[in-house]
Amino acid sequence: MLSIFDIYKIGIGPSSSHTLGPMNASLTFLDLLEKTGNFEKTERVHVTLFGSLALTGKGHGTDRALFAGLEGCRAETCDVQEVRDGLKKGAEKGVLLLGGIKPIRFKEKDIEFDFDQRLDLHPNALFYQAFDKEGKEISHLIIYSVGGGFIATQEQLEKSGITHPEADGVSIITARQLLEGSSTHGDGFRRTEPEEGGGMGDLPTGNVAFSCPYEFSTMQELQEIVKKEGKSIAQIVLENELSVRPKDEIDAKMKVVWDTMLACVADGVHSTAKELPGVLHVPRRAPGASRQLLKGLKDPFTLNPEDLKTLKSTVGGNTAASEWVEVFAMAVNEENADGGRIITAPTNGSAGIIPAVLHYMYAFLDGDWEKVKTFFLTSFAIGYLCKKLASISGAEGGCQAEVGSACSMAAAGLCAVFGGSAKQVEKAAEIGIEHNLGLTCDPVAGLVQIPCIERNAIAANTAVNAARLAMIGPEDHIVSLDTALATMKRTGDDMRSEYRETSKGGLAVSVAIPEC
């Protein structure tokens, strides 16, 4: 099993797989240098990005994020403005502060975008090389960003048996082929075999599975546990989490997640920026929409969630609450697009859906802390199954894997808050994913802006509707969640690579991009 805090974790915008994952990959490479005694010997680092990371890396801030990670920045604690500006400053000074303490030489071309090759195990691959003062390679690491900020080593993916060998207009190569021909990388540095222990061993990647009382790999197994134990899905997930940390710590960590979501929405609606960064000049809409809906009433967006309850008076009940749901989602995704701090839920690209539905629940459905916890615990179970049975990576499964998974999670969490049974929770989750099947990932200009921001707003309301539909009629649903997730997996596998976060198809090639 994974922890709830592997799915709900603090991230930096705009992308979990292209920003948070590479930042974590860089931190893992630092760990490797320390463990092998090569940190002090390192005088230069070269990183090559492949596949989707190369094709949309600039728009997703991949180079900025991996640079920040090499300087020791962590998403939970870093200054987001330093992440935005660090690469540019480092290139101007010609210096990278390795691990935040050791100055080494740096040029912008030390981060290389390989548009012509892709590794076979996953579309998102990074190849790290460290060199000593004589230009000799002393360490290397191939690592993959597999969605939601999760990363995996070469060995970990090889053990999984999953490959992505389809042709997509680029050369598909193996890790061995990369290493044998890597003299083409590293800005002309001499390649030699790294010292013992300097290669691609199993390293900590932040995604540590653990044993727990109630193991489940499918929704059917979870339903059987629920029936046997007479407990809700939220209670089962909590029991599992209690096997690795005490209840006080669980509550405290969930509170950090909730507080971060509250702060992100507040920052989004209070932003004074007129537009988002990038060539599209997309206007920020959440601040103006919020003012328009408030109609001059007191600002409810504080870190005290009780203030949200004043919003109910702005719409005369629940009839127009959907407009607020859209504002909540846009606020988060505009912050994400600007490189702000968000919660991966389960990814950055889909980060607005769950906070939007939670804000809706708190503002319009008499929310409280216990309901927030029920929502988190229940929705985690769905997110875990989405990751295990299908994918939460846009580069693997298209946007159905990101927005679809988040919509499914939010629908399940809200249904549990409604008092829905485990069967109704599954029904809500299935409705949420079913009506996102086939959704492509085709970000215009490689930016997490169009269609991503509006897509989150729409999916947030879809989640609310799915939860309400699940409470109507019989508990059982014709299509099971396991069937829907298997369908999502097959659909993602069948989806042409142009529609999986490469910006080579769909809207990405249909919308004219303004000249810089």
488 and 367 within one domain: yes
Give the whole-angstrom CA distance, residue 375 versus residue 411. Answer: 9
DSSP 3-state of 291: helix
Give the whole-angstrom CA distance, residue 225 versus residue 40. Answer: 51
Per-residue CA distances from 126 to 143, 201, 374 (Å) = 5, 15, 37
Residue 25 domain-assigned (yes or no): yes
- Degrees to nearest 5, angle at CA 132 with 128 and 135: 90
131 and 280 within one domain: no
346: left (phi over 0), alpha (psi -120 to 50) or beta: alpha
Extended beta strands in 354-497, E state: none
Give the whole-angstrom CA distance, residue 254 versus residue 425. Answer: 21
Total length of the chain:
516
Chain-centre distance of CA 356, in angstroms? 16
Residue 191 domain-assigned (yes or no): no
Residue range of the domain that includes 363: 219-510
Chain-centre distance of CA 177, in angstroms? 30
365 and 495 within one domain: yes
174 and 249 within one domain: no
Overall domain count for the chain: 2
Q: Note whether 78 and 12 are within 8 A (CB).
A: yes
Residue 319's DSSP bridge partners are none
**According to the 3-state scheme, what is the secondary structure of 285-337?**
CHHHHHHHHHCCCCCCCCCCHHHHHHHHHHCCCCCCHHHHHHHHHHHHHHHHH
Give the whole-angstrom CA distance, residue 367 versus residue 105. Answer: 53
272 and 151 within one domain: no
Residue 302 domain-assigned (yes or no): yes
484 and 427 within one domain: yes
Side-by-side strand order, sheet with 137-147: 111-113, 44-51, 124-131, 137-147, 150-153
Extended beta strands in 302-445, E state: 341-344
303 and 364 within one domain: yes
Q: Note whether 329 and 352 are within 8 A (CB).
A: yes
Give the whole-angstrom CA distance, residue 449 versus residue 338. Answer: 9
Of residues 134, 77, 127, 120, the one with CA closest to residue 100: 77
* pLDDT score of 411: 98
End residue of a domain, out of 184, 199, 233: 184
Of residues 244, 210, 206, the one with CA closest to residue 31: 206
Residue 446's DSSP bridge partners are none
161 and 270 within one domain: no
* pLDDT score of 166: 63
Give the whole-angstrom CA distance, residue 226 versus residue 142. Answer: 41
Give the whole-angstrom CA distance, residue 276 versus residue 449. Answer: 8
DSSP state of 47: E
Directed axis angle between helix 353-364 and helix 403-417, to 10°?
Answer: 20
Residue 203 domain-assigned (yes or no): no
* pLDDT score of 193: 45
Residue 435 domain-assigned (yes or no): yes
Cis preceding linkage at 451, omega within 30: yes
Neighbours of 210 (CB within 10 A): 12
225 and 173 within one domain: no
Residue 342's DSSP bridge partners are 11
pLDDT, block means (10 residues), the chain with 516 residues: 95 94 96 97 97 91 96 94 95 97 97 92 94 96 93 87 65 86 51 41 51 95 98 98 97 98 98 96 97 88 94 70 96 97 96 98 97 98 97 95 98 98 98 98 95 98 98 94 98 94 94 78
* pLDDT score of 143: 95
DSSP state of 13: S
Whole-structure pTM value: 0.90
Give the whole-angstrom CA distance, residue 483 versus residue 480. Answer: 5
* pLDDT score of 201: 41
123 and 80 within one domain: yes
* pLDDT score of 417: 98
Residue 7 domain-assigned (yes or no): no
Residue 72 domain-assigned (yes or no): yes
Q: Note whether 13 and 357 are within 8 A (CB).
A: no
Residue 299 domain-assigned (yes or no): yes
CB half-sphere exposure, 373, CA atoms < 13 A: 17
End residue of a domain, out of 184, 204, 230: 184
Of residues 378, 347, 342, 344, the one with CA closest to residue 361: 378
End residue of a domain, out of 158, 184, 210: 184
Exposure pattern of 59-88 as b/e (b: 16+ CB <10 Å)? bbbbbbbbbbbbbbbebeebebeebbebbe
* pLDDT score of 479: 97
233 and 293 within one domain: yes
Q: How many helices and strands in the chain, by DSSP H and E? A: 20, 11
CATH of the domain at 78: 3.30.1330.90
357 and 438 within one domain: yes
